[in-house]
Structure 1
Amino acid sequence: MKRTVKTIMIVICCVMAFFMPANADNNKPIKVTELPVKAQTVLSQHFNNQKVTFASIESGIIDKNYDVVLQNGTKLEFDKKGNVTEIDCKHGAVPEKLIPQAINTYLQENYSGQTVRKIEFNKNEYELELSNGIDITFNKHFQVIDID
């Protein structure tokens, strides 16, 4: 019995190891109109003066996400529902309306004059990179948990 279970586990691991690389990093160029509606709304409301030079969908084993590159070099990532997960502004600032108000208030009080160049959103944290090179991490309750 133990031998059979071990054999089945080894077969499952081999099958998973075979299929994971085949499905991982599966980027496919798409049109802007193929992005989720939420993503299109973010682009039109906050980056309307920038042309989209590249959009793609990345299908993984479990999830998919969308990558967008704008004419000025700004890169955005969206989840499968069109929620922003990352904004990286190479030559500008992340629009203030896309930064949670509690974080904006903290930045105005402690880093006046600095702009946010990059922001990453996930379930539990917000990671920001300021124009002066400082990285700040906030928890989901908008409390600072790390500064680099």
Structure 2
Amino acid sequence: MKKLASLLALVALLAGATPALAGDDRPIAYKKLPAAARQFITSYFGDTRVSYAKVDSEWWDTTYEVVFDDGRKVEFEKDGAWKEVSCKYSQVPDVIVPPRIREYVAASHPGQKMVKIERSRREYEVKLDNGLDLTFDRSYNLIGIDD
């Protein structure tokens, strides 16, 4: 019984300490971003001033977030590949949206702007300025619509 109580106490202690140790969200200098992330920013957001950059270090993953003065935001993977681009008050740059997704949006939702795009290993999610969320698989086939 003492062993069980000791084990439960240890599990409770570790469960309480793990969240405090896992997340480390801190500001970083622009020059400390991965080279691929800096190149992406220069290519597609070169005309906008960076407000701040931060790194989020988890036990199993590291991501970077860059916020611009005009409110646009880009999130990067640890290798510098873009993960999410959010443009509240403008449009996501067309050149970063896969052509088949651009074509679908232009044909099926004319006049709508893409204000956010997010990609994962399995899918792309695009948010339009009318609030509609479109989900595409890695072959760029529409697999979901959420309003």
| Counterpart position of 2:44 | 46
Stretch of structure 1 that moved more, 109-118 or 44-53: 109-118
Partners of 2:5 and 2:61 lie apart in 1 by 29
Please tell me whether residue 77 in structure 1 is matched to residue 75 in structure 2: yes
When the two structures are aligned, how many residues end up with a matched partner?
A: 146
Please tell me whether residue 91 in structure 1 is matched to residue 89 in structure 2: yes
Unaligned runs of 5+ in 2: none
User: Displacement, 1:111?
Assistant: 1.5
User: Displacement, 1:75?
Assistant: 1.2
Residues 61/15 of structure 1: CA separation in 2 closer, same or farther (3 Å cut): farther
Unaligned runs of 5+ in 1: none
User: Displacement, 1:11?
Assistant: 7.0
Structure 1 segments of 4 or more deviating over 6 A? 5-9
Partners of 2:6 and 2:69 lie apart in 1 by 51
CA contact (8 A) 2:23 2:59 kept: no
| Counterpart position of 2:100 | 102
Residues 6/52 of structure 1: CA separation in 2 closer, same or farther (3 Å cut): same
User: Displacement, 1:100?
Assistant: 1.1
Which amino acid in 2 is paired with 1:58?
D
Please tell me whether residue 20 in structure 1 is matched to residue 18 in structure 2: yes
User: Displacement, 1:99?
Assistant: 0.7
Partners of 1:12 and 1:100 lie apart in 2 by 49
TM-score, normalisation: structure 1:
0.88
Residues 14/147 of structure 1: CA separation in 2 closer, same or farther (3 Å cut): same
| Counterpart position of 2:144 | 146
